[in-house]
Structure 1
Amino acid sequence: MQSLKFRKAELTDLDRLLHLINLAYRENPIQSWTNEADYVSGQRINKLQLQQALMDDNYHLYVAEVDDVISTTSLIGCIGLAFNAEEVEIGTFCVDPVFQNAGVGRVILSFAETQALLIQPNLRLYMMYVLDIRSELIAYYQRRGYSLTQVRKPYPIDANVGKPLLNIELQQLIKHVS
């Protein structure tokens, strides 16, 4: 695997990001780490939501890229950081299914944790929400040092991020900054 390059997402990335996020979460016909198609229908994000997120000063979306064989750059992953006081919520984390199971996600998550500390040096807590029925994904984050909390939220139907096909909730995971 070639080394990853990271940069902050730009408005010119909208179409590629929209495709990547929806492919990884909802459209991919094979079961991938982030795929939720069996649990949630509809788009994971639309162009307006993504555009608004990129313009939010408290939100930072980073893209991971590799150089491909024809000397262009391929966007293969992304991760978002939303800051609040002394904590950061990690979300919009995905890897192109073609590149999954190769350690890319681990590198992206590590980059995001380091980047969050550079942006907010007084950071005390990393936080994320995962669908409660995604036990393999929860286990992955636990191997990365995250712990389950007692906090659960209803699936955000009003946020226009898809409709649940099952009775699901969002489970909070946290990791204290060491």
Structure 2
Amino acid sequence: MKPLRYRIANLNDVDNLISLINQAYRTNTGASWTSEQDIVAGDRINHQQLSKSLEKNNFHLFVTEILGNKHSDLVACIGLTFQQNAVEIGTFCVNSHWQNQGIGKQVLEYAEKRALEIFPAFNHYEMFVLDARTELIQYYERCGYLKTACTESYPIYENVGQPLIDLKLQHMTKSVIK
């Protein structure tokens, strides 16, 4: 595999990120195993939502590029939202054509490491995963995350797609090892 480069997303990345995120979450192409197209309709994110997120002081969105001969290709992104005692991981996706090659695991490990460098005072990572995505929950469990007793309603009010089945968000956490 070609080397990966990580950097903080900026407003110039918004259009490419919207394409990447919606492609990864809402289409079933390439080697995709993370698509939600059969359980959620509509876009995962739009220009206004992503731009607003990038303006937040407690949010960092990292992009991952595969370095090529003449240019780099955006293949993944992952967001970190810094809270009082936790870092929430979200906006995490890998282009479906690059899935099943270990990139997601590398991106998650990079984000966890960077979170500690940026904000060493927190004590756990957390994330919310659609409860119907059992294969994704199992993946995160293999990465050290545990399901909690907490579930939340699907956030229809946030305009992140319309559920096609009954969905909840499963809360997962991972303790920080320092």
List per-residue Cα deviations over 1:118-159 (Å, max 9, x = no partner).
Answer: 110111010000000111000000000000000000000000
Distance 1:10 1:49 in 2: 14
Could you tell me which residue of structure 1 aligns to residue 101 of structure 2?
102
List per-residue Cα deviations over 1:72-126 (Å, max 9, x = no partner).
Answer: 1100000000011010100000001111000000000000000000110111010
Counterpart AA for 1:162: G
Distance 1:8 1:29 in 2: 27
Q: What is the deviation of 1:28?
A: 3.5
Q: Give the gaps of 5 or more residues in structure 2.
A: none
Distance 1:67 1:114 in 2: 21
List per-residue Cα deviations over 1:16-40 (Å, max 9, x = no partner).
Answer: 1000000000133467232100000
Could you tell me which residue of structure 2 aligns to residue 82 of structure 1?
81
Partner secondary structure for residue 88 of structure 2: strand
Distance 1:173 1:142 in 2: 9
Q: Give the gaps of 5 or more residues in structure 1.
A: none
Q: How does 1:12-161 map to 2 (within 5 A)?
A: 12-29=12-29, 32-69=32-69, 71-161=70-160
Q: What is the deviation of 1:48?
A: 0.4
The aligned length equals 177
Could you tell me which residue of structure 2 aligns to residue 172 of structure 1?
171
Identity of aligned residues (%): 48
Which moved further from structure 2: 24-33 or 124-133? 24-33
- CA RMSD in angstroms comes to 1.0
Partner secondary structure for residue 45 of structure 1: coil
Distance 1:12 1:2 in 2: 24
